[in-house]
Structure 1
Amino acid sequence: MDLANSSLPAIKVTMADASKLLRVNNIVKSQQDNRDYRGLQLANGLKVLLISDPATDKAAAAMTVDVGHMSDPEDLPGLAHFCEHMLFLGTKKYPNENAYSTYLSENGGSSNASTYADNTKYYFDVVHNQFEGALDRFAQFFIGPLFTDSATDREINAVNSEHEKNLATDVWRIRQVNKALADSNHPYSKFGTGNEKTLSEDPKRLGINVREELLKFHEKWYSANIMCLAVYGRETLDELEAMVISRFSEIVNKNVISPRWTDHPFLPEHYATKVSIVPVKDSRTLTLTFPTGDLDQFYKAGPEAYLSHLIGHEGKGSILSELKSRGWSNSLLAGHNTLARGFGFFDIMVDLTQEGFENIDEIIKIIFQYINMLRTGGPKKWIFEEYLNLSEMQFRFKDKETALLLVSSVVHSMQLYPMEEVLTAPYLISDWRPDLIQNLMDDLVPEKCRIVVVGQKVEPICNEIEYWYGTKYRSEPISEDVIEDWKSCGLNENLSFPMPNPFIPTDFELCTGESEVKPYPVILHDTPIMRVWYKQDTEFKKPKTIMNFDFSSPMAYSDPLNCNLTHMFVQLFKDELNEYLYEAELAGLRFGVSNTSNGISLSISGYSHKQQILLSKVIDQLFNFEFCPKRFEIIKEQMHRALKNFNAEQPYQHAVYYLALILTEHAWTKQELIDAVSLVTVERLEQYIKDFLSRMHVECLIHGNVNKQKATALASIVEQKLKTTNANTLPLLSRQLLLKREYKLVNQESYRFETENEFHKSSCAELYLQCGMQSDSANVFIDLVSQILCEPCYNTLRTKEQLGYIVFCASRKANGAQGIRFIVQSAKHPVYVEERIELFLDSMTKQIEDMSDEEFNRHKDALAAQKLEKPKRLSTLFNKFLNEISLQQYHFDRAEKEVAILRNVTKTELLDYYKSNILSMGPNRSTLSIHIVSTADGGAGNSNEIESTPVINELIDRRPNTIVINDLAVFKSSKELYPMVQPYIDIQPKGAKSKL
């Protein structure tokens, strides 16, 4: 391991030195990319990518520092992660703890950061005309952080809350078991997140001042020469360059050497090992892990991409195809991960069925038989060239990223690749290196393999407990006989290389269209059984089209059984088509199908050229669908597990679920769905599919590289199938297609629903304030309230009061109604948390009253910018149109209409709205609280803390008028429903007319 040499002199860069920089102007970009790029290396060693886009709504920046949690001091696990948290809480130039977040919030921005094993990344976006101010505040993270004593003590709670959020999450638990079994002297084995014990209790016991250690860590590692910065704005490259030099040249170059770990964390004695792990959720997986070197240096050849492509293939002759034919697996993933500079892993992960769990050794043998087949056949140049062509096509026609997405992704590439290749390297490979492929295959052998088996069935044999997460596991060597069996497994006649991909498009011509293209979708075809919306793309100009078909039927969600039958239909349909569709997806032609509360939604997106072929195949299969009884049982068991596993989801996810369950007109509980699983039989499903296809309405949207003639041809594929003798589909009446509505809470009444969760130490409080029906004006007011409350809510409840890591405030619009909700996942009891939310809401009255006109207008401008932000890709615009069609509101110019109203809203009007709808004594206020109370060890419902009983009871007594919801049916039967929002354009209801 190479460590920074602290004896090297630090270099302070002056403005005079700032002119001594290197420029890179030959950055390769895709053909349709109209942005300008320039690379820089400042005199202090900071690498910079400038991105100029005169049309962007948002500006953005991201910074990576080549240090992560593997560089934590031995006696302070989690310090790198804690440092990331603390940089947000005040700098010498901007000492207020929320100065950065407030500036972004008031200017339509957002921010986040992540700590990885060997680097830390920070990023933000903001409205384009406020970029300079945001960038100035951002730069100070790396120049003059304060790390105040008060913030240090408080923010430890946030790190601890984040850790507790992960305690019952299997991905974190499994990862830490693997770390625990590595070489204990290797930094990979460290506990990277940190918690109260590592950052407070242990340091106090050892006499360590955490703030001083933070300063030392930042001083040692936050050096300009191991940082990379990407900035994206409307300004010219020269203007962006000047902005960067004036702010980031102050970062000191300490001549740090980025840590690199050439020794692998798993030593030869760790090979040929089987690890059994007990998960929280009822999941079953098998993972084969092969230690490798760092392959990033071979990025132009991509040997790991070649092998991942083949081992992870899902077509005929693949590992997955063979495992599914035996009923042992539903999915397989394969890929290489360079976890940190110097070493990596090649992983093959198999999802196991019940039968597959009993045949793990045979599954592993099949995997090695496939690898033997690859080794025997040798690297195939045609496969490499096909993969290369697909990658080139993807890069050539790639969609434009948002400003934030581009800077946060490219800044990582800047650490790995030459500046001129930062855009191309993640996509393009060019060097045919069969020797590198062969070398990597030499690592994929039984004697170097580590096996990880995850499943609740292994609990009886697990005799060890991982320290940080309490995960039960067992580690044991694999017998030499088993290793020899895998080594001599030979070949399998059912396994083969894939055939050439027939879906690779060759026609990238753009359609000629009408002389005048409408700005919004128009109805191309309308009958009682099918309505077709169509919009030709004139903005993105790519050879891509997206289409969606909603097959609506009141049967789909009429009761829990039918809901489950619809789910089974969809899952079996996807399962049956998987091999056929996989090659299409590799070629950039994606198919999706999902069950909805109205029926089944089917979509096809990607390159236009061969979509008609795919659609014909899919629709033909849909209306002539037959399924395998063995796969039926596997999918049924998978559905049952998924429903049960919801219990182990995060408490805030439960709060969101229960709110929707209580307020939505027709909604089935998870338990009702679980109870109905036993009623799902082969015979019932066969009959259900026939009935479903016999009566329905299809609503279609086609948008992209398509004209009226092609759109009509695509839609007719579906319509003709609806009219065939086999299907003989009849139309539905329009009143059979009415959308679900929302229950109306009574003004000046409060409702509370409480339930328990045994999986997580954290509880959750959700407070929802219902504010009436949706309309342009109502939407504007609730969104503006949310805009103003969002940052102070986070600052008050999370940063200052440290109630929990997850603090959320946003408007909610569903089923024609709207309101605002507050979610706090906390170690505190939900009753206490709700009281803190209420006190916050009351305190905001004065803050709004005292708000200057300038600040109020900034909030309005930020909200307007958010609403008017232009979609960057076809799919974003498509989803915007599809949402309006699905809501049956057809308000395609919603953003423009709402912003016109927003411009005229006065502070007095907003304050009146706030006092009436949000303030605790408001005449129009109505609330629904969801309390998820933890009964886990140490949870709020199982705590001996003094405040957990008397104080909670006192807080409950303060709200004597709160109505407790104990019975869902009783609650719903006592409430009226809001009417549906009427369409914004004059359009007949879909389906056949209902006659009086």
Structure 2
Amino acid sequence: FIKPLMSPDATMREINAVNSENQKNILSDTWRINQLQKHLSAEGHPYHKFSTGNLETLEVLPKARSVDIRHELIKFYQENYSANLMHLVVYAKDTLDNIQSLVKNKFREIQNTDRSCLHFPGQPCTSEHLQILVKAVPIRQGHKLRILWPTTPCIRHYKEGPSYYLSHLIGHEGKGSLFYILKTMGWATSLYAGEADWTYEFAFFNVVIDLTDAGHEHVEDIVGLLFKYIDLLQQSGVCKWIFDELSAICETMFHYQDKIPPYDYVVNVASNMQFYPPDDWLVGSSLPSKFNPGMIQLVLDELNPNNVRIFWESTKFEGHTSMIEPWYGTAYSIEKITGSMIQFMGLQQWMETAPNEHLHLPAPNVFIPTDLSLKNVSEKAKFPVLLKTSSYSRLWYKPDTMFSIPKAYVIIDFSCPYSRNSPEAEVLTCIFTRLLMDYLNEYAYDAQIAGLYYWINSTDNGFQVTLVGYNHKLRILLERVVEKIAKFEVKPDRFSVIKEMVIKDYQNFKFQQPYQQALYYCSIILQDQSWPWNEELEVLPHLEADDLANFVPLMLSRTFLEYYVSGNIEPSEAESMIQHIEDAFYNSPQPISRALFPSQHLTNRVIELERGISYSYLAEGLNPSNENSAIVHYIQVHQDDFMLNVKLQLFALIGKQSAFHQLRSVEQLGYITELTQSSVFGIYGVHFFIQSTVKDPRHIDMRVEAFLKMFESKLYELAHDEFKRLVNALIDMKLEKHK
């Protein structure tokens, strides 16, 4: 901030780091479609530019034009780094006088050259960039539809919240919503709506829909339904009760929000200081409170067919496109949506031929909490206590003794031995949990909007249900989730959709980052009783709805339930919840489930690596287009032990920064370079994982070994005072209060 050197060597290192990051992103569909949207905008507008840079833009092209990039960097610094453009937030446990003194001491030398803030007037999309249909070829399997409109930036009207109001309605997932209809038709698996890429001068309102194979064949109907829903909003008018409901939800969420980590908090507030007046620095746009139907109507009017940009992504377009985006190489074609085109391409025709489904506005949200009082629990336990145990369950309980907020946290862990005894069982368990989420979605969506969340995930031993949020109506949601599990039925049409999604997830494994694949292979090799992804993919296409219908009763026939209940809940409430669950599974005349046999209480195991022997597992990259390679250098250290755990934590704390500095900053092996401590089923170790386009894995592995030898010497040479400082840093981390 004060006197940056920007030396030639440091500048070149940063150019290489930028290029390495770009190589990491080059096959990311998110980055690719984002740049394609920029590419199809006005060339003279800053929005059009390549947003991240690479070696070509920062080294090759400047040299070809005899441009000194370091000189340009210093010039950029001098033109933009001025004290009057900066905002500082300090988060500290100290007096304001001491903090002010510290700030003056550290920052007073920053020059104030009275620079003006950059502005980007004008719209990035002219008429030639509107009413377009763009077909693009993604990297990953699947289909996605993005409908965009340039709109009035809502940052200027943050208290009126026009985009928040519209995104709530267009993105709703309850009965009568656009997504509910698309899901019922079997055309979509997710839908997002909201403002994006906003500045003071321009913004876009996006609707992003993940399509099924059937949905890909009905894009015209889907776009027509979207515009029918927008027409419904026009006909219904702006509803004050909906705005008031959203405003009340925001008010509650703001006042009872979870503690934000200090690092994130100071970044958020510093960003807010750039956009909002002082009274709203801590709030930002979190509290829409002024009902302004005219402002909402203004943005709604902009969501019209004359203003639209449609981006349709599908691997089925491969070989049927005519253009290439220059920076990421995305293949695409572009067509104008006008009346002169083929008849079915007209937007009006799409609206007229769309299914005549019953779209309607959402009903009032029954999950909004009205009782936010705190429970008076007599015993303030610092640690979870075992409240109840039996042959088929264990209940752990801990009241809130720190945060004093009206929220609760419930975990129900279903241990099911039959859920993981074959690749087929593994896949069927996954489909089962995803179907449960699918069945519950339209009911539980209101709970999510009101701040009550749930997840159902498959685990190493079965599956797990998690509920977190305001405790007032948590029991209502819990009972519905339990009912869906206990009375599970397979709907063949939804089974087919979920199966299609799961198959694509497995097929897209090869498009994960190489370091992610390497971490997966390391895990699969070390863990006992795990099935490789390709075996699971092999069995998937042959599974049918009847297979799941036969499997679920078997999976649930023997279970052990472990509960964890914490937060603003009394012990009697926790026991009552658990009793309801056990009545549903164990206590009926024909129980769904019985307790596990003693031999079925299995412990997950990890393969023990013999000391003195190095093991290598080599895997060929699955994506020929990805130039990155990666290694995971894993060192297995010890079984769970209090003293050894702390020593390993200290090793990782000291080594993390040294490894990053040496292997990434100095040797520049790759943008993704990390040393982390790992714990797998009570077996502790450390991981180095590095992804690179400049060096092969064997060379990187040699450099990791060299680093370890160098680091060993560094540890022996560490001064006593420095060692104590690092020990105290670890102590401080452990004493830090939970957020």
Whether 2:614 is the aligned partner of 1:745: answer no
CA contact (8 A) 1:336 1:345 kept: yes
CA distance in 1, matches of 2:688, 2:197: 39
What is the match of residue 891 of structure 1?
A: none
Q: Out of 816, 840, 843, which is 2:707 matched to?
A: 840
Deviation (angstroms), 1:868: 2.8
Contact 2:486 2:592 in 1 (8 A): no
Q: Determine helix, strand or coil for the equivalent of 1:228.
A: coil
Match of 1:387 in 2: 246
Among 635, 639, 649, the residue aligned to 1:769: 635
Match of 1:784 in 2: 650
Show the 5 A alignment for 1:487-526.
492=356, 494-514=358-378, 516-526=379-389
Query: What do the CA deviations read for 1:20-75 (whole angstroms, capped 9, x no partner)?
Result: xxxxxxxxxxxxxxxxxxxxxxxxxxxxxxxxxxxxxxxxxxxxxxxxxxxxxxxx
Map residues 49-60 of structure 1 onto 2, 5 A cutoff: none
Say whether the 8 Å CA contact 1:788–1:859 is kept in structure 2: yes
Task: Please point out which of 679, 687, 692 is paired with 1:813.
Answer: 679
1:233 is paired with a residue of what secondary structure?
coil
Unaligned runs of 5+ in 1: 1-141, 873-996
Distance change in 2, residues 1:487/1:360 (3 Å):
closer
Taking the TM superposition and a 5 Å limit, the aligned residue runs for 1:875-954 are none
- Residue aligning to 1:485: 349
1:158 aligns with 2:21: no
Which of 726, 733, 737 is residue 866 of structure 1 equivalent to?
Answer: 733
Cα distance, 1:370 vs. partner? Answer: 0.4
Asked if the contact 2:152–2:299 (Cα under 8 Å) also holds between the matched residues in 1, the reply is no
Task: Report if aligned partners of 2:650, 2:730 keep a CA contact under 8 Å in 1.
Answer: yes
| Mapping 1:368-767, distance limit 5 Å | 368-480=227-339, 481=343, 482-486=346-350, 492=356, 494-514=358-378, 516-722=379-585, 723-757=587-621, 758-767=624-633
Query: Which one-letter code corresponds to 2:51 in the other structure?
Result: G
Correspondence list, 1:317-396, <5 A: 317-396=176-255
Q: Where do 1:24-423 residues align within 5 Å? A: 142-423=1-282
Deviation at 1:216, TM superposition (A): 0.7
Which deviations, in whole Å up to 9, do the C-alpha atoms of 1:240-281 show, x marking residues without a partner?
122112222322222222222231111112111011111111
Gaps of 5+ in 2: none
What CA distance in whole angstroms lies between the structure 2 residues aligned with 1:819 and 1:611? 38
Q: Tell me how far 1:678 sits from its aligned partner.
A: 2.3
CA spacing shift, 1:381–1:491, aligned 2, 3 Å: farther
Task: Measure, in 2, the Cα distance between the counterparts of 1:843 and 1:764.
Answer: 22
Q: Alpha-carbon deviations, 1:635-664, whole Å to 9, x = none? A: 101000001101101111011101101111
Post-superposition Cα deviations, 1:315-352, rounded to whole Å, max 9, x if no partner, equal 01100011111110111000012433310000001110
Report the 3-state secondary structure (helix = DSSP H, G, I; strand = E; otherwise coil) of the residue aligned with 1:243: helix
Task: Give the equivalent residue in structure 2 for 1:21.
Answer: none
Q: Which amino acid aligns with 1:295?
A: C
Does the Cα contact within 8 Å between 2:394 and 2:562 map onto a contact in 1? yes
Please give the alpha-carbon distance, in whole angstroms, between the structure 1 residues aligned to 2:714 and 2:380: 48
Return the letter of the residue paired with 1:771.
V
Residue 492 of structure 1 deviates from its aligned partner by 4.8
TM-score normalised according to structure 2 size: 0.97
- TM-score, with length taken from structure 1: 0.72
User: Which position in structure 2 is the counterpart of 1:850?
Assistant: 717
Retained in 2: the 8 A contact 1:179–1:189? yes
Shift of 1:595: 0.7
Which residue is equivalent to 1:798?
664
Corresponding residue number in structure 2 for 1:990: none
Q: CA deviation at 1:377?
A: 0.7
The alpha-carbon distance between structure 1 residues 166 and 449, as it changes in their structure 2 partners (threshold 3 A), is same
CA distance in 2, matches of 1:660, 1:678: 25
CA distance in 1, matches of 2:662, 2:200: 39
Distance 1:426 1:733, change over 3 A: farther
Q: Secondary structure at the match of 1:787?
A: helix
How far apart are 1:491 and its partner, in Å?
9.9
Match of 1:546, SS state, is strand
Equivalent pair of 1:272/1:483 in contact (CA under 8 Å): no
Question: How far did residue 532 of structure 1 move?
Answer: 0.8
Question: CA separation in 2, counterparts of 1:493 and 1:824?
Answer: 51
Q: Which amino acid aligns with 2:363?
A: M
Aligned to 1:977: none
Give, in whole Å, the separation in 2 of the partners of 1:789 and 1:490: 60
What one-letter code is carried by the residue in structure 1 that aligns with 2:682?
G
Residue identity opposite 1:804 in structure 2 = G
Alpha-carbon contact 1:372-1:491 (below 8 Å) kept: no
Q: Percent identity?
A: 37
Paired with 1:726 and 1:578, the residues of 2 have a C-alpha distance of 29
CA displacement 1:568-623 (0-9 Å, x = unmatched): 11111110110000001111111111111111100111111111111111111211
**Deviation digits for residues 300-321 of structure 1, max 9, x if unmatched?**
1001110000000000110001
Contact 2:491 2:545 in 1 (8 A): no
Residue aligning to 1:62: none
CA distance in 2, matches of 1:313, 1:726: 39
Distance 2:232 2:355 in 1: 6
Contact 1:447–1:483 (Cα < 8 Å) also in 2: no
Residues 445, 487 of structure 1: 8 Å contact kept: no
Which range is displaced more, 657-666 or 147-156?
147-156
Contact 1:503–1:583 (Cα < 8 Å) also in 2: yes
Rounded to whole Å, the distance in 2 between the matches of 1:754 and 1:521 is 44
- The separation in 1 between residues aligned to 2:150 and 2:230, in whole angstroms, is 16
Offset of 1:690 from its aligned partner?
1.1
Q: CA deviation at 1:728?
A: 3.5
Distance 2:601 2:324 in 1: 54
Which SS does the other structure have where 1:185 is aligned?
Answer: coil
Cα offset for 1:527? 0.9
How far has the Cα of 1:191 moved from its partner?
1.0
Contact 2:142-2:212 at 8 Å conserved across structures: no
Distance 1:526 1:173 in 2: 53
Q: For the structure 1 residues 416 and 489, does the alpha-carbon distance in structure 2 shift closer, same or farther, using more than 3 Å as the test? A: farther
Helix, strand or coil for the counterpart of 2:427?
helix
